Amino acid sequence: MNLAIDVASGEKPTEELVGGAIKSLFLNDDVNLILVGKEKSILRALSKLKYDRNRVDIKHTNQIIDMNESPAAGIKHKKSASVLIAARLVSNKEAEGFFSPGNTGATLAAALTEIGRLKGVMRPPLVSTLPKISGEFCMMDMGANVDCTPDYIAQFAVMGRVFAKRFLKIDNPRVGLLNIGEENSKGNAETKKFFERLEKLKKINFVGNVEPNDMLKSDLADVVIADGFNGNIVLKTMEGTASLMVNLLKTEIKKNPISIMGGLMMKPVFNSLRNQMSSDSVGSAILLGLNGGAFVGHGKTGGNGVKNAVLNMYNFLDAKINEKIAKELYDSGVKRRIF
Protein backbone atom coordinates (compact mmCIF):
# COMPACT_ATOMS: atom_id res chain seq x y z
CA MET A 1 0.00 0.00 0.00
CA ASN A 2 1.46 3.36 -1.06
CA LEU A 3 1.14 6.22 1.42
CA ALA A 4 2.12 9.84 0.76
CA ILE A 5 3.77 11.78 3.57
CA ASP A 6 4.18 15.55 3.56
CA VAL A 7 7.52 15.90 5.34
CA ALA A 8 7.96 19.59 4.43
CA SER A 9 5.08 21.17 6.39
CA GLY A 10 4.77 20.93 10.15
CA GLU A 11 6.89 22.52 12.83
CA LYS A 12 9.49 19.77 13.10
CA PRO A 13 12.43 19.49 10.65
CA THR A 14 12.15 17.26 7.57
CA GLU A 15 14.90 15.04 8.96
CA GLU A 16 12.87 14.09 12.02
CA LEU A 17 9.71 13.45 10.02
CA VAL A 18 11.57 11.31 7.45
CA GLY A 19 13.18 9.31 10.26
CA GLY A 20 9.76 8.58 11.80
CA ALA A 21 8.26 7.59 8.47
CA ILE A 22 11.11 5.19 7.71
CA LYS A 23 10.66 3.47 11.10
CA SER A 24 7.14 2.47 10.08
CA LEU A 25 8.60 0.35 7.24
CA PHE A 26 10.09 -2.03 9.79
CA LEU A 27 6.77 -2.43 11.56
CA ASN A 28 4.61 -3.11 8.53
CA ASP A 29 5.89 -4.97 5.46
CA ASP A 30 3.00 -3.87 3.28
CA VAL A 31 3.70 -0.14 3.52
CA ASN A 32 5.52 1.82 0.80
CA LEU A 33 6.18 5.53 1.19
CA ILE A 34 6.12 8.54 -1.09
CA LEU A 35 7.88 11.38 0.73
CA VAL A 36 6.84 14.86 -0.40
CA GLY A 37 9.12 17.85 0.21
CA LYS A 38 12.50 19.27 -0.73
CA GLU A 39 14.38 16.45 -2.46
CA LYS A 40 17.72 17.63 -1.09
CA SER A 41 16.55 17.63 2.53
CA ILE A 42 14.83 14.29 2.13
CA LEU A 43 17.89 12.68 0.51
CA ARG A 44 20.11 14.07 3.25
CA ALA A 45 17.83 12.56 5.90
CA LEU A 46 17.60 9.23 4.08
CA SER A 47 21.37 9.01 3.61
CA LYS A 48 21.74 8.47 7.35
CA LEU A 49 19.22 5.63 7.45
CA LYS A 50 19.15 1.97 6.46
CA TYR A 51 16.01 0.90 4.64
CA ASP A 52 14.76 -0.87 1.51
CA ARG A 53 15.08 1.69 -1.30
CA ASN A 54 12.42 -0.04 -3.36
CA ARG A 55 9.85 0.93 -0.76
CA VAL A 56 10.51 4.68 -0.73
CA ASP A 57 9.84 7.23 -3.45
CA ILE A 58 10.34 11.01 -3.39
CA LYS A 59 8.21 13.78 -4.89
CA HIS A 60 10.12 17.02 -4.93
CA THR A 61 8.65 20.45 -4.24
CA ASN A 62 10.00 23.69 -2.84
CA GLN A 63 6.61 25.09 -1.96
CA ILE A 64 4.83 24.81 1.38
CA ILE A 65 1.77 26.44 2.90
CA ASP A 66 2.86 28.05 6.15
CA MET A 67 1.24 27.39 9.50
CA ASN A 68 -0.11 30.92 9.70
CA GLU A 69 -1.09 31.30 6.06
CA SER A 70 -4.73 31.55 5.03
CA PRO A 71 -5.67 28.02 3.86
CA ALA A 72 -7.89 29.34 1.06
CA ALA A 73 -5.20 31.64 -0.31
CA GLY A 74 -2.52 28.98 0.06
CA ILE A 75 -4.53 26.35 -1.82
CA LYS A 76 -5.39 28.84 -4.54
CA HIS A 77 -1.97 30.31 -5.20
CA LYS A 78 0.51 27.58 -4.29
CA LYS A 79 -0.41 24.85 -6.71
CA SER A 80 2.69 22.83 -5.93
CA ALA A 81 2.54 23.13 -2.15
CA SER A 82 3.65 19.88 -0.49
CA VAL A 83 0.23 19.24 1.03
CA LEU A 84 -1.51 19.60 -2.34
CA ILE A 85 0.99 17.29 -4.04
CA ALA A 86 0.49 14.70 -1.32
CA ALA A 87 -3.30 14.89 -1.70
CA ARG A 88 -2.99 14.77 -5.49
CA LEU A 89 -1.06 11.51 -5.25
CA VAL A 90 -4.19 10.06 -3.65
CA SER A 91 -6.56 11.43 -6.29
CA ASN A 92 -4.23 10.08 -9.01
CA LYS A 93 -4.36 6.68 -7.29
CA GLU A 94 -0.57 6.68 -6.87
CA ALA A 95 -1.18 6.51 -3.11
CA GLU A 96 -4.14 5.29 -1.06
CA GLY A 97 -3.78 7.95 1.60
CA PHE A 98 -1.74 10.99 2.62
CA PHE A 99 -0.59 12.54 5.86
CA SER A 100 0.35 16.15 6.61
CA PRO A 101 1.35 17.73 9.93
CA GLY A 102 1.07 21.20 8.41
CA ASN A 103 -1.58 23.92 8.41
CA THR A 104 -4.78 22.07 9.37
CA GLY A 105 -7.10 24.25 7.30
CA ALA A 106 -4.91 23.77 4.23
CA THR A 107 -4.76 20.01 4.77
CA LEU A 108 -8.55 19.81 5.01
CA ALA A 109 -8.97 22.00 1.94
CA ALA A 110 -6.40 19.97 -0.02
CA ALA A 111 -8.19 16.74 0.88
CA LEU A 112 -11.61 18.08 -0.06
CA THR A 113 -10.60 19.67 -3.34
CA GLU A 114 -8.13 17.04 -4.55
CA ILE A 115 -9.60 13.78 -3.26
CA GLY A 116 -13.26 14.73 -2.97
CA ARG A 117 -16.16 13.30 -1.04
CA LEU A 118 -17.67 9.83 -1.29
CA LYS A 119 -21.03 9.63 -3.00
CA GLY A 120 -23.74 10.84 -0.62
CA VAL A 121 -21.43 12.40 1.98
CA MET A 122 -22.49 15.94 2.92
CA ARG A 123 -19.62 17.08 5.14
CA PRO A 124 -16.60 14.92 5.95
CA PRO A 125 -15.92 15.06 9.70
CA LEU A 126 -12.54 14.91 11.40
CA VAL A 127 -12.40 11.89 13.69
CA SER A 128 -9.89 11.42 16.53
CA THR A 129 -9.34 8.53 18.87
CA LEU A 130 -9.06 9.83 22.43
CA PRO A 131 -7.95 8.19 25.66
CA LYS A 132 -10.40 7.41 28.43
CA ILE A 133 -9.84 5.62 31.72
CA SER A 134 -10.83 2.29 30.19
CA GLY A 135 -9.08 2.30 26.82
CA GLU A 136 -10.12 4.61 24.03
CA PHE A 137 -13.08 5.99 22.14
CA CYS A 138 -13.55 8.10 19.06
CA MET A 139 -14.99 11.55 18.71
CA MET A 140 -16.05 13.65 15.74
CA ASP A 141 -16.22 16.31 14.32
CA MET A 142 -13.00 17.67 15.80
CA GLY A 143 -13.05 20.88 13.79
CA ALA A 144 -13.71 20.45 10.07
CA ASN A 145 -17.30 21.77 10.11
CA VAL A 146 -17.97 24.47 12.68
CA ASP A 147 -21.63 24.94 11.75
CA CYS A 148 -23.60 21.74 11.45
CA THR A 149 -27.19 20.84 10.62
CA PRO A 150 -28.96 17.81 12.13
CA ASP A 151 -28.46 16.09 8.75
CA TYR A 152 -24.69 16.41 9.00
CA ILE A 153 -24.84 15.14 12.57
CA ALA A 154 -26.86 12.10 11.50
CA GLN A 155 -24.25 11.32 8.86
CA PHE A 156 -21.47 11.69 11.45
CA ALA A 157 -23.22 9.09 13.61
CA VAL A 158 -23.38 6.60 10.75
CA MET A 159 -19.73 7.24 9.85
CA GLY A 160 -18.66 7.09 13.49
CA ARG A 161 -20.33 3.74 13.95
CA VAL A 162 -18.45 2.28 10.97
CA PHE A 163 -15.18 3.76 12.22
CA ALA A 164 -15.62 2.37 15.74
CA LYS A 165 -16.54 -1.08 14.43
CA ARG A 166 -13.74 -1.39 11.92
CA PHE A 167 -10.93 0.72 13.39
CA LEU A 168 -11.48 0.30 17.13
CA LYS A 169 -12.94 -3.22 16.64
CA ILE A 170 -15.98 -2.53 18.80
CA ASP A 171 -19.07 -4.59 18.20
CA ASN A 172 -22.31 -2.57 18.08
CA PRO A 173 -20.62 0.65 19.23
CA ARG A 174 -22.50 2.99 21.57
CA VAL A 175 -23.01 6.39 19.97
CA GLY A 176 -23.47 9.42 22.27
CA LEU A 177 -24.06 13.13 21.69
CA LEU A 178 -21.72 15.61 23.38
CA ASN A 179 -23.80 17.66 25.78
CA ILE A 180 -23.70 19.43 29.13
CA GLY A 181 -26.15 17.09 30.86
CA GLU A 182 -27.27 13.49 30.58
CA GLU A 183 -31.01 14.04 30.47
CA ASN A 184 -32.69 14.00 27.04
CA SER A 185 -33.91 17.57 27.45
CA LYS A 186 -30.46 19.08 28.16
CA GLY A 187 -28.42 21.37 25.96
CA ASN A 188 -28.73 24.46 23.84
CA ALA A 189 -31.26 24.86 21.02
CA GLU A 190 -28.92 23.33 18.46
CA THR A 191 -27.96 20.29 20.52
CA LYS A 192 -31.61 19.55 21.20
CA LYS A 193 -32.21 19.36 17.45
CA PHE A 194 -29.21 17.07 17.08
CA PHE A 195 -30.61 14.83 19.82
CA GLU A 196 -34.01 14.57 18.15
CA ARG A 197 -32.45 13.55 14.88
CA LEU A 198 -30.08 10.99 16.38
CA GLU A 199 -32.89 9.45 18.41
CA LYS A 200 -34.78 8.66 15.21
CA LEU A 201 -31.89 6.91 13.47
CA LYS A 202 -32.33 3.23 12.92
CA LYS A 203 -29.37 0.85 13.07
CA ILE A 204 -27.52 3.17 15.47
CA ASN A 205 -27.01 2.19 19.10
CA PHE A 206 -27.73 5.72 20.36
CA VAL A 207 -27.09 6.03 24.10
CA GLY A 208 -28.16 9.67 24.45
CA ASN A 209 -26.24 12.64 25.80
CA VAL A 210 -22.72 12.28 27.13
CA GLU A 211 -20.95 14.93 29.21
CA PRO A 212 -17.28 15.59 28.45
CA ASN A 213 -16.15 14.73 32.00
CA ASP A 214 -18.00 11.39 31.91
CA MET A 215 -16.80 10.67 28.39
CA LEU A 216 -13.21 10.72 29.70
CA LYS A 217 -13.70 9.32 33.22
CA SER A 218 -16.32 6.66 32.58
CA ASP A 219 -17.21 4.14 29.92
CA LEU A 220 -20.46 5.47 28.50
CA ALA A 221 -19.88 5.68 24.77
CA ASP A 222 -17.57 4.41 22.02
CA VAL A 223 -18.39 7.23 19.62
CA VAL A 224 -19.11 10.81 20.70
CA ILE A 225 -20.71 13.13 18.15
CA ALA A 226 -20.42 16.93 18.22
CA ASP A 227 -20.32 19.76 15.73
CA GLY A 228 -16.84 20.84 14.70
CA PHE A 229 -16.88 23.89 16.94
CA ASN A 230 -17.56 21.97 20.14
CA GLY A 231 -15.35 19.06 19.13
CA ASN A 232 -12.47 21.45 18.62
CA ILE A 233 -13.17 23.18 21.94
CA VAL A 234 -12.98 19.78 23.68
CA LEU A 235 -9.75 18.81 21.90
CA LYS A 236 -8.04 22.09 22.73
CA THR A 237 -9.28 22.12 26.33
CA MET A 238 -7.87 18.60 26.81
CA GLU A 239 -4.55 19.71 25.38
CA GLY A 240 -4.45 22.84 27.55
CA THR A 241 -5.43 21.02 30.74
CA ALA A 242 -2.80 18.33 30.17
CA SER A 243 -0.11 20.99 29.62
CA LEU A 244 -1.26 22.92 32.65
CA MET A 245 -1.13 19.86 34.88
CA VAL A 246 2.31 18.79 33.71
CA ASN A 247 3.48 22.32 34.38
CA LEU A 248 1.92 22.44 37.85
CA LEU A 249 3.54 19.07 38.59
CA LYS A 250 6.97 20.34 37.54
CA THR A 251 6.57 23.47 39.68
CA GLU A 252 5.46 21.46 42.72
CA ILE A 253 8.23 18.89 42.31
CA LYS A 254 10.87 21.60 42.45
CA LYS A 255 9.62 22.80 45.84
CA ASN A 256 11.48 20.23 47.95
CA PRO A 257 14.40 17.80 47.63
CA ILE A 258 12.40 14.66 48.39
CA SER A 259 9.93 15.30 45.65
CA ILE A 260 12.77 16.19 43.24
CA MET A 261 14.17 12.73 43.95
CA GLY A 262 10.72 11.19 43.64
CA GLY A 263 10.27 13.00 40.35
CA LEU A 264 13.51 11.55 38.98
CA MET A 265 12.40 8.06 39.97
CA MET A 266 9.14 8.62 38.19
CA LYS A 267 10.66 9.80 34.95
CA PRO A 268 9.47 6.74 32.99
CA VAL A 269 5.98 7.35 34.35
CA PHE A 270 5.99 10.96 33.18
CA ASN A 271 7.33 9.92 29.80
CA SER A 272 4.59 7.37 29.39
CA LEU A 273 1.97 9.90 30.48
CA ARG A 274 3.36 12.45 28.07
CA ASN A 275 3.17 9.87 25.29
CA GLN A 276 -0.41 9.02 26.07
CA MET A 277 -1.52 12.66 26.17
CA SER A 278 0.83 14.10 23.54
CA SER A 279 -0.02 15.40 20.12
CA ASP A 280 1.92 12.46 18.70
CA SER A 281 -0.73 10.16 20.14
CA VAL A 282 -3.93 12.14 20.30
CA GLY A 283 -3.11 14.89 17.81
CA SER A 284 -3.70 13.15 14.52
CA ALA A 285 -7.13 12.94 13.04
CA ILE A 286 -8.72 11.37 9.99
CA LEU A 287 -11.04 13.11 7.57
CA LEU A 288 -13.78 10.53 7.03
CA GLY A 289 -15.95 10.06 3.99
CA LEU A 290 -13.50 10.85 1.19
CA ASN A 291 -12.45 8.86 -1.89
CA GLY A 292 -9.15 8.11 -0.16
CA GLY A 293 -7.29 8.49 3.10
CA ALA A 294 -6.59 11.95 4.53
CA PHE A 295 -4.70 12.19 7.82
CA VAL A 296 -4.27 15.51 9.57
CA GLY A 297 -1.45 15.84 12.08
CA HIS A 298 -0.80 18.36 14.82
CA GLY A 299 1.86 20.89 13.81
CA LYS A 300 4.04 19.59 16.64
CA THR A 301 4.01 16.02 15.26
CA GLY A 302 7.48 14.53 15.62
CA GLY A 303 9.11 11.34 14.40
CA ASN A 304 6.98 9.09 16.60
CA GLY A 305 3.86 10.89 15.47
CA VAL A 306 4.63 10.29 11.80
CA LYS A 307 5.41 6.62 12.49
CA ASN A 308 2.07 6.22 14.32
CA ALA A 309 0.24 8.10 11.60
CA VAL A 310 1.61 5.79 8.88
CA LEU A 311 0.67 2.66 10.83
CA ASN A 312 -2.79 4.01 11.67
CA MET A 313 -3.34 5.10 8.09
CA TYR A 314 -2.52 1.60 6.90
CA ASN A 315 -4.96 0.07 9.40
CA PHE A 316 -7.64 2.59 8.46
CA LEU A 317 -7.29 2.01 4.72
CA ASP A 318 -6.87 -1.74 5.06
CA ALA A 319 -10.19 -1.89 6.95
CA LYS A 320 -11.96 -0.32 3.93
CA ILE A 321 -13.78 2.10 6.23
CA ASN A 322 -14.62 4.71 3.60
CA GLU A 323 -16.01 2.03 1.26
CA LYS A 324 -18.16 0.73 4.08
CA ILE A 325 -19.32 4.27 4.95
CA ALA A 326 -20.68 4.79 1.42
CA LYS A 327 -22.78 1.65 1.79
CA GLU A 328 -23.94 2.35 5.33
CA LEU A 329 -25.00 5.91 4.50
CA TYR A 330 -27.18 4.45 1.80
CA ASP A 331 -28.61 1.67 3.99
CA SER A 332 -29.20 3.84 7.07
CA GLY A 333 -31.77 6.05 5.41
CA VAL A 334 -30.11 9.33 6.48
CA LYS A 335 -30.38 12.28 4.14
CA ARG A 336 -27.60 12.12 1.53
CA ARG A 337 -25.97 14.60 -0.78
CA ILE A 338 -27.60 14.26 -4.18
CA PHE A 339 -25.91 17.01 -6.23
Is 211 among the residues that bind its own copies (CB under 8 A)? yes
Query: Could you tell me the CA-to-CA distances from 105 to 5, 38, 96, 324 in Å, in that order?
Result: 17, 22, 21, 26
**Contact (Cβ atoms closer than 8 angstroms) between residue 31 and residue 24:** yes
Work out whether 67 is an interface residue with its own copies (CB under 8 A): no
Backbone angles phi, psi at 142, to 5 degrees: -85, 5
We find the least distance from the C-beta atom of residue 219 to its own copies, in angstroms, to be 12
Q: Report the residue from 133, 171, 338, 339 that binds its own copies according to the rule CB under 8 A.
A: 133
Residue 136 binds its own copies (CB under 8 A): no
Does residue number 229 form part of the binding site for its own copies (CB under 8 A)? yes
Helix runs in the chain, H state only: 14-27, 39-47, 71-77, 82-91, 104-110, 150-166, 189-200, 212-217, 228-253, 257-265, 267-277, 279-282, 303-318, 321-332
Tell the smallest beta-carbon distance from residue 56 to its own copies (Å).
35
- 1-20: b (≥16 Cβ within 10 Å) or e: ebbbbbbbbbebebbbbbbb
Residue selected from 11, 241, 318, 331 as contacting its own copies according to rule CB under 8 A = 241
Output the smallest distance, CB 301 to its own copies, in A: 16
- d(C-alpha 327, C-alpha 330), whole Å: 5
- Closest distance of CB 213 from its own copies, Å: 4
Does 73 help bind its own copies (rule: CB under 8 A)? no
Binding map of its own copies across residues 184-203, x = CB under 8 A, - = no contact: ---xxx-x------------
**Count of other CB atoms within 10 angstroms of residue 110:** 31
- Residue number, 80 or 256, with CB nearest to its own copies: 256
Which residues are near its own copies by CB under 8 A?
A: 131-133, 143, 146-147, 178, 180, 187-189, 191, 211-217, 227-230, 232-234, 236-245, 247-249, 252-253, 255-256, 258-259, 261-266, 268-269, 272-273, 276-277
